[in-house]
Structure 1
């Protein structure tokens, strides 16, 4: 039985790669990384995002300077059409992954919600 689940999961991985959400994300990511300016802005935005995630995980509050830096980074990223397209593709992929996760974990929810 366990092997069958792994086979299904591996098949799902292959199907995910064929999905329009994955293909759009892959294309948007490649476009950002093939454009020097967009890549630089994206990397800067990603670094700011990671900094905030690390602060959250460690329970630290961001300073006013950190918040302003994040806001400026977000505004700058949103000015670049390639980055905006990448963010939209990431959001669509996230929705798909959330939906799949809900389906996969439904048996567990059934146990704990009954």
Structure 2
């Protein structure tokens, strides 16, 4: 019995979560996505799909597909509008989110 108790502290360092939920994994961001950091410390991730015809907007708690709408760099669905234009990228999600001057960071590859 005492041998079993001696092994318990070693078990606490083992992660049984197959999705890698520790802080180090979360800081990497989503696979094959570009992080945008905006004025006022807002941030979001975008993964381009379908040869650039769809922008997959990745929020911390959900994801949204935004099909190309209008110009080459405008994507939208309902109240959400994403305009990708280098350091002038903007994201508006109705009244909840309005990010401006968003700068792309290095694409995340894992």
Give 1 or 2: higher helix fraction.
1
With CA pairs under 8 Å and 6+ residues apart, which has the higher RCO, 1 or 2? 1
After TM superposition, is the score higher than 0.5?
no
Q: Which has the higher strand share?
A: 2
